Structure 1
Amino acid sequence: MTRERPTALLVDLDGVLRRFDPAVAAGVERRHGLTPGVLTDIAMHWGRLQPVLVGQVSHADWLTSVADALAGPAGDREQARAAVDEWQAYRGEVDAEVLGFVREVRAAGIPVGLATNATDLLDADLAALGLADELDVVVNSSILGVHKPAKEYFRAACQALRTPPDRVLFVDDDDRMVSGARVAGLPAYRWSGPAGLRYLRAALAY
């Protein structure tokens, strides 16, 4: 049986539509005398990150927990907080090629949703990046209360797009998210860079 072509697109934010220059975090760590990579290691520790991704704590509270962990029991909390705030001031950059693709798809009448594990800062980020009006649907894990790659997350995203899962093409740069989407019934593509746009255009056939 031939699979029908997708009639909606669901894209990840970080690593697909938005990218971060690792030199920025490295510069912050260097200026504050920190071990390279320590900010990301502390912030992305799953026990600390998971609650903010499902809306159990705010973005601000998450940053406080990161600063507290960075300082340690006997460290300088003020200095640690300054480093964390400087690190967080950089909100990334939009990938112009991916944004151009999203615009093409929407212009062809195909709805595009954003599927992201994010905090309550997402709306502000999208506005600052100029993306607030570039998407038809935004599915934020911290609002939904469940994060990718849970089947419930993808079910909610498809409902928001008003499209059956087997007609929603999902794009993410993380293998676990791609696998989770496929388990939920979505055709999914593992993003590795703009070279993939040729495949996605063919898959959508617009």
Structure 2
Amino acid sequence: MSRERATALLVDFDGVLRRWDPAVAAGVEQRYGLAGGVLLEIAMQWGRLQPVLTGQVSHADWMTSVADALTEPAGGAERARAAVEEWQSYRGEVDNDLLDFVREARAGGIRVGLATNATDRLEEDLAVLDLAGEFDAVVSSYRLGVNKPAKEYFQAACQAVATPPDRVLFIDDEDWSVRGARAAGLSAHRWTGPGDLRYLRAALAY
């Protein structure tokens, strides 16, 4: 039996709607005498990352912990903090093809939510990237206190777009997140780039 087309869409932020240029972090690391890849490696350690994604610590505290964990560059702790601050000044870039699709879907009557594991800086990032107001709902793990791929996260996300799970399409670039959405009863697609938009249009009821 074929599944009905979705009437709501949930879109991941980082790696999907927002892209990161790896050259930015690499340039900071080079300028400050840090090992290549060390900023992201430290920041993404789960024991350091999970608390900031679930509202236990702030984005600022998270970045302080990254600076503290760095092998000190020449100039010591102050220089480590400066490197992290410069790295964090970059807010990424919007995938305009996907943004156009989000606008198209909303114009066609589809409820669209941003569904992201995020810190308390999410609202500020959305404003900086001119994305405030582009969604019917913003579902942040920081605000919920639970992160993807937990079933409770997806239940809350479906409630935010006022749509039952079996009529919601979720897109994310991480396999584990896609699997979590499917386990919660949503349709889910792993995002690989704008080439996926044809499939996504076909999966939505507009």
| TM-score (normalised: structure 2) | 0.97
Query: Is the contact between residue 7 and residue 205 of structure 2 (CA under 8 Å) also seen in structure 1?
Result: no
SS of match in other structure, 1:64? helix
Aligned residue for 1:121?
121
Query: Is the contact between residue 110 and residue 205 of structure 2 (CA under 8 Å) also seen in structure 1?
Result: no
SS of match in other structure, 1:2? coil
SS of match in other structure, 1:188? strand
The alpha carbon displacement at 1:15 in A equals 0.8
The alpha carbon displacement at 1:3 in A equals 1.2
The alpha carbon displacement at 1:2 in A equals 2.3
Q: State how far apart, in whole Å, the 2-side matches of 1:139 and 1:98 are.
A: 18
Q: State how far apart, in whole Å, the 2-side matches of 1:17 and 1:152 are.
A: 23
SS of match in other structure, 1:138? strand
**Structure 1 stretches of 5 or more lacking a match?**
none
For 1:152-191, list aligned pairs within 5 A.
152-191=152-191
| TM-score (normalised: structure 1) | 0.97
Aligned residue for 2:101?
101
SS of match in other structure, 1:91? coil
Q: Deviation per CA, 1:49-74, whole angstroms, max 9, x where unpaired?
A: 000000000011111100000146xx
Q: State how far apart, in whole Å, the 2-side matches of 1:71 and 1:139 are.
A: 35
For 1:1-206, list aligned pairs within 5 A.
1-71=1-71, 76-206=76-206
Task: State the aligned residue count.
Answer: 205
Q: State how far apart, in whole Å, the 2-side matches of 1:15 and 1:61 are.
A: 23
| Equivalent residue letter for 2:134 | E
**Structure 2 stretches of 5 or more lacking a match?**
none
Q: Deviation per CA, 1:167-206, whole angstroms, max 9, x where unpaired?
A: 0000000000000000000000000010000000011142
Stretches (4+) displaced over 4 A: none
Percent of pairs with identical residues: 74
Q: Deviation per CA, 1:148-171, whole angstroms, max 9, x where unpaired?
A: 000000000001111000100000
Q: State how far apart, in whole Å, the 2-side matches of 1:17 and 1:191 are.
A: 10
Q: State how far apart, in whole Å, the 1-side matches of 2:203 and 2:43 are.
A: 36
Q: State how far apart, in whole Å, the 2-side matches of 1:4 and 1:170 are.
A: 14
When the two chains are superposed, the root-mean-square deviation of aligned CA atoms in Å is 1.2
| Equivalent residue letter for 2:191 | W
| Equivalent residue letter for 2:87 | W
